[in-house]
Amino acid sequence: MDAVPYHSLKLFFGGRRNYIQNIVAVLPPNLLYRHGDRSPLSSFPQNSVKEDAWPWGYGQLTKTGIQQAYNLGQWLKDRYKNFLSPSYKPKEIYVQSTDYDRTIMSAEVVLAGLFPPSAEEEWNPDIHWQPIPVHTMPLSEEKSLRLGAIHLSLS
Supply the pLDDT for residue 112.
96
pTM for the whole structure: 0.73
CB count in 10 Å sphere of residue 8: 17
Q: Cα–Cα distances in Å, from 65 out to 9, 102, 125?
A: 17, 9, 26
pLDDT in tens, 117-151: 999 999 999 999 999 999 888 877 877 666 555 44
- Secondary structure (DSSP) of 74-132: HHHHHHTTTTS-SS--TTTEEEEE-SSHHHHHHHHHHHHHH----TTT-S-TT------
Task: Give me the helix-helix angle, 101-114 and 63-79, nearest 10°.
Answer: 40
- SS3 state at 144: coil
Residue 9 has pLDDT above 60, yes or no: no
Percent of the chain with pLDDT over 90: 30
CA distance 115 to 111: 6
The structural domains of the chain, ordered by start, are 9-141 (3.40.50.1240)
Supply the pLDDT for residue 19.
42
pLDDT category at 106 given cuts 50, 70, 90 is very high
The answer to whether 137 touches 40, Cβ cutoff 8 Å, is no
